[in-house]
Homo-oligomer: A and B are copies of this chain.
Amino acid sequence: MEINLNELAARVGARLRGDGDVVVSSVAQLTQAGAGTLSFLGDSKYRSHLAETKASAVILTEADADQCPVPILISGNPYLTFAEAARILHPQPPVVGGVHPSAVVDPSADIDPTAWIGPLTVIEAGVRVGARVFVGPSCILGAGVEIGDDSRLVARVTLCAGTLVGQRAMLQPGSVIGRDGFGFARDGERWVRIPQIGRAVLGDDVEIGANSCVDRGAIADTLVGNGVKLDNHIQIGHNVEIGDNTAMAANTGISGSTRIGRNCTIAGAVGMAGHLEIGDDVHFTGMAMVTRSFTEPGSYSSGIPAMPSGAWRRNVARFRQLDDLARRLKQLEVSLETMKDTQGQEES
């Protein structure tokens, strides 16, 4: 979509310096931008790229404003302003209501006429789909599923029976919401499956990445708060609760009944044990192994970063001796103290 800088600046709340009649129609990286594109400078250390940019306009901070040969939009947070401008330039196409003839829709389903149901999608009994919802190709909406207004199921999303999805959700291909939780009781060597009668309940503005899973609860529900963003390949166990606006990167797994607070950021491939309490504003770095509760805000980490394999093997061998090494160190300290005393006595 085309827009001139006067209008764009007004809509994103930025201050324009330069020709407001210049028109932009897409976003681009600073070094690869061409005519008609809008770019941004998020980090002053790339300021030298400004001189050579071919972008028609750049979003940047006041501090970087003098360096730029093209029209600028000044913002206190160029990255956020860029995000908003990109949403204006590259809007989601509007949803056209209707049901593709190849979809298999139970007559008891209540589908808003402004919603789109894509080809080869299955909609079971009692499903409710809100206004302007986009259900892409090959989705499955199990019995009793409800989806709030303006949500988007990109394609091939599986919502198991009873799952609730709020408004403005974005569910990516391969995601599976509301699978039976992994609950078994042991009977001798045999595992007896425990019926999982809770639901998976997603709030508003939730994003679930490709091939991610949110299991339904065992008895009570699994709860994903408003504004939660989950990347790909994420596993959310039964009865987990995730607070508003918490984000998780790919390959992370949260075991059953763990409760995570609001505004947490959880990096990729983190693993959390079950039945933990994680407070608000807690941050875990990549591959962190979370085996206890962390209720205080802060950043937490674990793991051994990669090193040349030879050095790693030697250090790992020592890790196995670590308790022994610590005991020997303690022993040395005692011995030395004794010797010092002895030496001191001799000297005195």
Question: Which residues of A pack against B, CB within 8 Å?
Answer: 26-29, 32, 77, 79-80, 82-84, 86-87, 89-90, 100, 102, 104, 118-120, 122, 137-138, 140, 142, 154-156, 158, 160, 170, 172-174, 176, 179-180, 182, 184-187, 189-195, 197, 205, 207, 209-211, 213, 215, 219-220, 227, 229, 231-233, 235, 237, 244-245, 247, 249-251, 253, 255, 262-263, 268-269, 271, 273, 284-292, 294, 298-309, 311-323, 325-326, 328-329, 332-333, 335-336, 339-340, 342-343, 346-347
Contacts and interface: CB of A to CB of B under 8 A. Distances in A.
Given A80-B192, A319-B315, A328-B333, A232 B213 contact: yes
B340 A339 contact: yes
22 contacts: A29-B220, A83-B184, A87-B192, A87-B194, A87-B195, A89-B195, A102-B104, A138-B140, A154-B180, A174-B174, A182-B229, A182-B249, A182-B250, A269-B269, A300-B306, A300-B307, A301-B309, A314-B322, A318-B323, A318-B325, A319-B319, A332-B332
Give how many copies assemble into the complex: 3
A322 B315 contact: yes
| Residue from A28, A160, A250, A313 having most chain B Cβ neighbours under 10 A | A250
A176 to B, nearest CB: 4
A174 B318 contact: no
A176 B157 CA distance: 12
A119 B138 CA distance: 11
Contacts of A140: 137-138, 155-156, 173
A197 B224 CA distance: 28
A185 B173 CA distance: 22
B194 A179 contact: no
| Residue from A172, A220, A271 having most chain B Cβ neighbours under 10 A | A271
Given A80-B187, A271-B268, A300-B309, A219 B27 contact: yes
A295 B149 CA distance: 49
